[in-house]
């Protein structure tokens, strides 16, 4: 899926110029990387605000139209006002097809309802990570990484090394350790509750005696 973003060159610099730009409904930003110098840009605030609501916009290669010319970029940083719905600044990086990019992409958890830990072990599955860092050439960049929870068992975890990665994608974080991305734990007291329930059921059954037959 191709995602588009429009921008234009920005000539005025400084905090005062940026404030005036925001007041006029635009967002100051910068475009850097590749074989070209960094360039100040501006974008229409309303359009960008709605684009940022899309998960894919944060983890995909974007087609930026800048002053009538198109180029591929990555969204690298967004600064939002602490309490107002206001984008204060945005950073984009140019993409070179022959250079590896490093990006954080979302994790999508699937098959939780089929997990052995949940169906047969009474466990609760916790998501330890919501996103993960990947490295690859731009053409291999995935929008997300899928995490299959169907085989997780009580007391165990799904680790980074367990993830099925798309072609050409690697996890730089593995060099620092095989961290868990999800775990299945049985709530304390769950076993005792099951035993108490079974015992109570047995007591009720014992209380239901057949009435004595009259002689």
Residue 215 has pLDDT above 60, yes or no: no
Instruction: Give the sheet arrangement for strand 131-136, strand by strand.
Output: 131-136, 101-110, 145-148
Q: How many Cα neighbours within 13 Å face the side chain of 134?
A: 26
The pLDDT of residue 206 is 46
The pLDDT of residue 194 is 44
The pLDDT of residue 205 is 43
Mean pLDDT of the chain: 87
Q: How confident is the model at residue 16 (pLDDT cuts 50, 70, 90)?
A: confident
Domains of the chain: 3-96 (2.40.240.10), 102-188 (2.170.120.20)
Average pLDDT over residues 134-146: 96
Q: What is the pLDDT of residues 19-70, one digit of tens each?
A: 889 999 999 999 999 888 999 999 999 999 999 999 999 999 999 999 999 9
Residue 40's contacts (CB-CB under 8 Å, 6 or more residues apart) are 9, 10, 11, 13, 28, 29, 30
Average pLDDT over residues 187-207: 49
Q: What is the pLDDT of residues 62-91, one digit of tens each?
A: 999 999 999 999 999 999 999 999 999 999
Q: How confident is the model at residue 146 (pLDDT cuts 50, 70, 90)?
A: very high
Q: Which tops the pLDDT comparison, 88 or 199?
A: 88
The pLDDT of residue 11 is 82
Q: Which tops the pLDDT comparison, 118 or 210?
A: 118
Percentage of the chain surpassing pLDDT 70? 87
The pLDDT of residue 13 is 77
Residue 210 has pLDDT above 60, yes or no: no
The pLDDT of residue 102 is 95
């Amino acid at each position: 899926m191709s995602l588009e973003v429009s921008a234009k060159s920005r000539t005025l610099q400084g905090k005062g110029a940026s404030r005036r730009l925001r007041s006029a409904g635009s967002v100051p930003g910068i475009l850097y990387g590749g074989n070209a110098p960094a360039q100040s840009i501006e974008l229409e605030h309303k359009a960008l605000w709605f684009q940022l609501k899309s998960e894919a916009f944060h983890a995909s290669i974007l087609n930026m139209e800048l002053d009538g010319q198109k180029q591929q970029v990555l969204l690298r940083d967004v600064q939002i006002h602490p309490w107002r719905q206001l984008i204060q600044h945005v950073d984009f990086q140019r993409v070179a097809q022959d250079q590896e990019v490093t990006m954080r992409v979302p994790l999508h958890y699937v098959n939780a309802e089929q997990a052995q830990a949940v169906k047969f072990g009474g466990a609760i599955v916790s998501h330890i990570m919501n996103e993960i860092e990947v490295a690859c050439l731009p053409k291999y960049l995935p929008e997300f990484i899928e995490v299959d929870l169907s085989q997780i068992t009580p007391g165990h975890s799904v680790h980074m090394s367990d993830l099925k990665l798309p072609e050409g994608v690697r996890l730089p974080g593995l060099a620092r350790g095989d961290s868990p991305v999800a775990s299945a734990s049985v709530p304390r007291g769950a076993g005792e509750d099951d035993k108490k329930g079974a015992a109570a059921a047995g007591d009720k059954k014992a209380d239901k005696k057949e009435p004595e037959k009259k002689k």
